[in-house]
Amino acid sequence: MLNIAIDGPAGAGKSTMAKALAKKLNIVYLDTGAMYRGVAYYVLQRGVDPADEANVIPLLDGIEMDIVYENGQQKVVICGEDVTPYIREHNISMAASTVSKIPAVRIKLVELQRAIAAKTPCVLDGRDIGSYVLPNAPYKFFLTASAEERARRRHLELAEKGVKISYEEVLEDIKARDHQDSSRAFAPLKATEDAVIIDTTSLTPEQTIEMIMSRINSK
Ligand code: DC
């Protein structure tokens, strides 16, 4: 199956690349971060702290998640409700990182990710796709960039959406999320030995996509 794994920390350009790649190859883009965000949103809606494992676990059986595509756009549907409009809020980012430390949460979502990848050619972006979800994926990329550059990109993106937040605050959040995502015990963020590592700090999106496409075409 044509599965392309794109892993890396927040703001490294994963979703931009995954979207562009999926379009070029005419395959599906699976944003796995959106799935963790969906769980975080659901947990917060029920007044439960995403760090409170004992109270998060009993909620999991009630989460019926479907990933659907409308006009090429991925939607996260939980128990029939499209939660996509709410999961990009700034506070959901850290909550998703926190809830994603819980092994039972990961196991549930990884099962769904593997099921989708087994029947659909797709580009998946996340933190553990090449290392845990699909260790045999034929193509693995790990995108990275300096924390300052990633914060600059994220700050710009938030400013365009009208979110008022300082660059310093975004940088702090990025660093906290990097630490939490890389240091968790179960399936942490990490580059595997067989992944192509691309530092996008001083690359344009066009240059990055070109590097990825040339690796795919040369294999
Ligand atoms: O890619 P993102 O920023 O939307 O992801 C939000 C959080 O979800 C991220 O900080 C960690 C978690 N996540 C994960 O643990 N594993 C994935 N495959 C994708 C996201």
**Domains of the chain, start order:** 3-213 (3.40.50.300)
- Cβ of 96 closer than 6 Å to ligand 1, yes or no, is yes
Q: Which of 124, 115, 122 is nearest to 195 (CA)?
A: 124
Q: How far is the CA of 126 from the centre of ligand 1 (A)?
A: 6
Task: Report d(CA 44, CA 50) in Å as an integer.
Answer: 7
Residue to mutate (ligand 1; options 32, 102, 123; most atoms within 8 A of CB):
32
Q: What is the pLDDT of residue 26?
A: 96
Q: Which amino acid is at 121?
A: P
Task: Report d(CA 134, CA 151) in Å as an integer.
Answer: 28
Q: Whose CA is nearest to atom 2 of ligand 1?
A: 33
HSE at residue 74, side-chain half, CA atoms within 13 A, is 24
pLDDT in tens, 84-118: 999 998 899 999 999 999 999 999 999 999 999 99
At residue 155 the predicted structure's pLDDT band, cuts being 50, 70 and 90, is very high
Q: Which of the 8 DSSP states describes residue 127?
A: S
Residue to mutate (ligand 1; options 19, 29, 97; most atoms within 8 A of CB):
97
Query: Atom of ligand 1 at shortest distance to CA of 177?
Result: 10
Element (H, E) at 116: helix 103-119
- Quick one: how far is CA 132 from the chain centroid? 14
pTM of the model: 0.96
**Greatest CA span in the chain, whole angstroms?**
50
DSSP three-state, residue 75: strand
At residue 219 the predicted structure's pLDDT band, cuts being 50, 70 and 90, is confident
Q: Whose CA is nearest to atom 11 of ligand 1?
A: 97
